[in-house]
Structure 1
Amino acid sequence: MLQDLRRERLGRLKGLLAQSPKLAASYEDAKRVVRAFRRPAFYEISTRCNLFCEGCYHFSDDFHAPASEVNDAQAWDEFFAAEGARGVTMAYFVGAEPALEQERLIAASAHFPYGNIGTNGTIALDPSIPYRIGVSVWGVDEEVDASLRGASAFGKALKNYAGDRRAIMLYTLSKANLADVPRLVETCADHDLPVTFNMYSPTQTYMRKLGGAEANDRKYFRISSAASNLLWDDESLHETRRVMEEVMERFPETVVYSSAYNEWSTRSGPLYDIDPETGVARDCHSRMTGTMRYYKTDMSHAAQEKCGTSDAICSECRMYSGGWSSKFELRDEDVSSPAAFAAWLEMIETAGRIFLIERDGQPARTRDRMNLSVAAMEPAE
């Protein structure tokens, strides 16, 4: 049955390319992007962090650092060498804060063709590390920034990464900071830094504290309450969609985002097909299934169906990692018309710009934006 569906989808794809041959080059570019992600893996580089972000994804109530964290540099090099031999094409380096363990990132750079590092930007990464750096930003205004993260981080990130071709600023959208978006983009443009967007997604820990009307603490639940929190509603989702479209139009050279993805990620209700028994998203491509693995700092990995953000609630999840990875496979709606196919191509091209950079010695992937205009979808005469 699955093979029949894929064969039918492939037939539609061939029909679309025959109908709109000007999209063929864009499709070849899209295939190159998708191949870079054909075997991804996640590596927890550090269990320490120097910030206290509200509703932190990492430090849930049941978080326990591995009892036997590996600290030997040679062991990390051998571990990454084995992972490279396993065929990992895309390595995601996460934490807590990976910049606190940079020797591990340097060791990894010899073994993976592509990598993406998630960092809060307060510590500069060694120039020899050749991977994409996603610099997490939660607020532009110093007061908003400090309230959401426990300390002001944005100014430090700008100083550390202005003009660094590896860096892309990753702004985590929430109701609390949406008004800062235009100023954020202007500031990033002034510092020669591209910017893309994540959407805050609540964890079970965060929701439990809201539901139990727990008192605020001095760490990861400092400012939220049942009356005022980071949760999305239809009104704020609609406003987010509007603001994103506005900044994409005003700053096309700075904002790395997609209209099609923006429309999908801001729709009401769950973004995924949720298993009613487990609550797990059945069609999220960040799940630890198949060859996908998530390693802790003791180099262990657990076979699990959920993603690396184990405390996240799938029905509430709008995180960019799961969202973008779930777009890599063509679906029926993506080949329903030339316009839908062009929208998918635009999303894949955008994902490539967000997560990948070409390192020295790699064949260059086209860096020009794809021609996805209406004219490009017109059938050839």
Structure 2
Amino acid sequence: MQKSLRRHGVAIVSVLALGGLAYLAYNAYRAPAGAAAPAAGNAAAAKPGAGAPPAGGFPTAVELTRVARVSLVIDATAVGSLRSNESVTLRPETAGRIAAINFKDGVPVGKGAVLVALDDATQSAELAQARANLELAKATFKRNEELFAKKFISSQALDSAAATLRVQQAALALAEAKQAKTQIRAPFSGVVGIRNVSVGDYVKEGQDLINLEDMRTLKVDFRLPEAMLPRLKVGQPVEVVSDALPGERFTATLAAIDPLVDANGRAIACRARLDNAGGQLRPGMFVRTRLIFEARDDALMIPEQALVADPQQAFVFTVVDGKAKKVPVKTGLRRGAQVEVVEGLKEGDVVVAAGQLKLRDGAPVRDAAAPPPGTPAPAAKPETPAKAAS
């Protein structure tokens, strides 16, 4: 009986000892890491709140920037092509053999100049025949008028002579037109291209002979997104640059806006006119265009990464007295990595540019570029004693 009581007592003591050890382990686990438990004798000397974080928590390191006022140009850029003010490929309207070529490749020619002449022997003979027939018809009609005045012929005979005269006049005009078609003339002043035919070649109707380009004024064709349509106005200046002429800038004028928007690319075709009196540019060249809509000197810009997306309204965090402040903003244009702020900020405001995702309104912050508070200043280097003069 005594042995049984002794065993129960040992078990109870063991359970109590294990419970005490568990309690001590639990308290040790809840203590802050690295904080040593004060000794029993020094418990009264421990100061309350020692080692605790300041009220509101430690400041969060963030990157800061200031709202800057800059010049902002509202423009639209596009790529385009140059076209001649007038361009035509000359072709003969009648078949024949080339009798003369009256130009040199790539030289200017005037309006109406005969560039290519075909053999017109047949047409010249038909023209001479038509002239002779017309002279005969004129003489017959004049004689019939005299006879009709003397009542020697009827009015019907006079009418027949008049009709014959008109037929011969038409025949002469037809012969002259046929003879004129043997001469290919310049329809306007311009520069001829490079010919691929020679004297003696037989050409067919509609065969390409030579191209003629009026390059004193060039057309600049380009396309812009349909969103730009409300800003487009005829007469706006267009800046034109070409990779072939680095450093050169040319000014054109918007001359026409296509009334039809391309349904495939949702773009609108535009045409500007460029004075090319110097002849530096050529039709077919690739150019870059810039259409300036507006220029402002008071745009407030911040880095685009400073914006925090929100379903209701975008916002940024400003820093006031070392604390973050949530400020809703209204944005405008974007240029590169910068965004315009239309409402919500003013020039000189300090804005969190990076690290704002872990902030809340009123949280303490510090500039990540500055050393943390309490960091000792680097020790000054001892001065090197001057060498004694020898």
TM beyond 0.5: no
Q: TM-score normalised by the shorter chain: which range applies? A: under 0.3
Look at both structures and tell me which one has the larger radius of gyration over its CA atoms.
2
Higher strand proportion: 2
The TM-score normalised by the length of structure 1 is 0.14
The TM-score normalised by the length of structure 2 is 0.14
Q: Which has the higher contact order (CA 8 A, sep 6+)?
A: 2
